[in-house]
Amino acid sequence: MSEQFFWTSASELGRAFARGTLSPVELVEQILQRAERLQPHLNFLVLIDRDGALAAARAAEMRWRKREPLSPIDGVPTSIKDTTTVKGWPTRLGSHATDETAAVEDAPVVARLRAAGMAIIGKSTTPEFGWKALTDSPLQGITRSPWNLGHTPGGSSGGASSMTAAGVGPFNHGNDGGGSIRIPAAHTGLVGLKLSYGRIPQHPADSPFADVVSQGVLARSVLDSALALNATAGPDPRDWRSLPADPRDYTIGLDDGVRGWRIGLSLDLGHVTADPEVRALVETAARRFEALGAHVEEVGPLIEPLQHAFEPLWIGSFAVRLRQIPSQLHAKLDPGFRAAAEKGLAITLADYARAFEAKSKLARDLALWHETYDLLLAPVTPTAAPPVETLYNSEAFPRWTKGAPYTLPFNLTGQPAASMPAGLTPAGLPVGLQIIGPPRADHRVLRAMRAYESASGWTWPQRGLAPAID
C-alpha cells in the first residue's frame, strides 16, 4: 500500500474501496502498524483494539465487494477520545481516580460511527477529566505534537489531533467543552468543527460540563467533517437536549461559496491579547474571504473578559468532580486540576446562578449580533502551541488569557465554531483561524470552511512535520 494513503481523506478512501483499488483490511492493518510505530514518540493512544478494528475492516470489505456499503466511510479507521464510553472498554479519563471497569454500552457518537461501518482502532489520550487545553495526564503521561515533539498538540482532544496530523486515520473523534476540538486543531494544522450544542447527542451526560460540550471530529478536510456529521447527527431520547432530527446532507452545498456575505473580524474580541505573529497570520487568513466575494470588516469589542462571570461555572464544576473522588486519591490528581477544584469548593449557589445568568445574556447578545453578520472571524488561540512542560492555568499560562479566551465564549452560547489552518509561525508551528456562525447554522460554517479551504492551499502531508513522522 502506498504511504500516500496515510494522508488520503476519508471520502477518497471510500471511493478507492468502491473501485477495488484499496482494501479496507490492508488500510486498517497499515494504520495500526503506523500507530504502533509512532506511539512511543507521540503517546496518542490509551489502548489499541487490533482484533476489533480488523474484524470491522473485514466486514466492510465484504460489503464493498457486494456494493452494499453502510456509508461512504464504511471501513475507514478512526479512534474515540477517552472521555467517551465504548462498550467493553474502560473510560479512564487520564486519571488514577478511575478504574478498568468496562462500559456497558457505546455513547451515541460511537454507536453511530460503528453503524457507518468505521473501524475503531482504539481510544485516544486526554488530560485528566479533559480539564485543560494541553494533553498530559497523571495516568497516561505527555502527548506530543507531530510538528515538534517538544510542543503540545493542544487539548483536551490532543490524542486525536496528534494522530490525525501524523497520518493515523483521516479523522478522529474529539469533543469540545471550552475549545477542546478547535484548540488542538489550531495547534496541529487541522480542520476542527465544534458543532451546535445538541447536534450530536450525549449519553451518559453525567459530566458537570454536559451543558457546554459538543461531540465531533478532528479532520484534515472539510468534506470529511461533513461526512462525519452526516453519520453522527440526530436526536437520541436519552439526551433531552439533543436537537430535533434534520434530514440535511451536510455535503450538499459545501461549494456554494460566501459571495455577498457580511463577515465581522475581531482579533481581540474586545479583551484578548494575541501574539503579534498570531494576529498577523489570522488577519491575512481572514482577508482571503474578500477574494472569495465576501465583505470583511473589523468590528468593535464584542465580549467582556470572561473570568469574573464564568469562573464559578468552571471551578465549581471541578469541585463537583473532586467531591466524587475518595480523599486518599487526591494526591494522585493533576496538581493544576486539584488546585482549581479546591478553589471551587468555595463557590456558592448564588455564584453559580449569576454565572448562568451571564451565560444566557452572552448567548442572546451574540445571537442578536448575527442578525447583522453572517459570520465572525477570530483567532483560535492567543499563541501557537506551547511547550509540553507548560503548567496550564499557572501565572505564566492562565486559562482566561492564554488558554481558551477565544474559544470558550462559543461553548457558553452553544453556537457552531471551527478552526481552519491560518499558516505557520516563524518557528514552524501552526496557527488557527476561528470561523463562528449563528446559532444552529452548522451548514453555514461548513460552507465557509470549504470556501476558505479552497483558497488556502493547505495540503497534507505538511513538510514541517517532525522527522519522527516520516
pLDDT at 190 over 90: yes
Question: Given pLDDT bands bounded at 50, 70 and 90, which one contains residue 2?
Answer: confident
pLDDT at 331 over 80: yes
**Per-residue pLDDT averaged across 150-177, rounded?**
98
Quote the mean pLDDT of the chain: 97
Share of the chain above pLDDT 70, in %: 100
The 10s digit of each residue's pLDDT in 274-316 is 999 999 999 999 999 999 999 999 998 999 999 999 999 999 9
Edge-to-edge strand order for the sheet containing 77-81?
45-48, 119-124, 77-81
pLDDT at 209 over 90: no
Q: What are phi and psi of 47, to 5 degrees?
A: -150, 155
Q: Which residues contact 320 (CB under 8 A, 6 or more apart)?
A: 208, 344
124 catalytic per annotation: no
**Cα separations in angstroms, 196 against 52, 113, 358, 407, 414:** 31, 19, 19, 13, 6
Q: What is the C-alpha to C-alpha distance for residues 85 and 173, in angstroms, rounded to an integer?
A: 12
Catalytic residue among 11, 23, 79, 180: 180
pLDDT of residue 206: 74
* Residue (of 290, 293, 277) closest to 423 by Cα position: 277
Question: Given pLDDT bands bounded at 50, 70 and 90, which one contains residue 94?
Answer: very high
pLDDT at 405 over 80: yes
Catalytic residue among 137, 145, 156, 242: 156
pLDDT of residue 429: 98
Q: What CATH number is given for 3-297+362-387+410-469 in this structure?
A: 3.90.1300.10
Q: What is the C-alpha to C-alpha distance for residues 13 and 72, in angstroms, rounded to an integer?
A: 9
pLDDT at 208 over 90: no
**Per-residue pLDDT averaged across 343-364, rounded?**
96
- Per-residue burial over 232-258, b if 16 or more Cβ lie within 10 Å, else e, is bbbbbeebeebbeeeeeebbeebeebb
pLDDT of residue 40: 97
pLDDT of residue 167: 98
DSSP state of 292: T
* Residue (of 210, 212, 170, 209) closest to 195 by Cα position: 212
pLDDT at 1 over 80: no
Q: What are phi and psi of 127, to 5 degrees?
A: -65, 165
pLDDT of residue 304: 94
Question: Given pLDDT bands bounded at 50, 70 and 90, which one contains residue 470?
Answer: confident
Cell of 286: 481572514
Domain boundaries, the chain: 3-297+362-387+410-469
Cell of 340: 482549581
Q: In sequence order, what are the beta bridge partners of 377?
A: 265, 435
pLDDT of residue 130: 97
Catalytic residue among 9, 71, 79, 81: 81
The vertex-317 CA angle with 312 and 319, nearest 5°, equals 95
Q: In sequence order, what are the beta bridge partners of 296?
A: 263
Question: Given pLDDT bands bounded at 50, 70 and 90, which one contains residue 43?
Answer: very high
81 catalytic per annotation: yes
Q: What are phi and psi of 144, to 5 degrees?
A: -120, 160
334 touches 130 (CB < 8 A): no
156 catalytic per annotation: yes
**Per-residue pLDDT averaged across 328-350, rounded?**
98
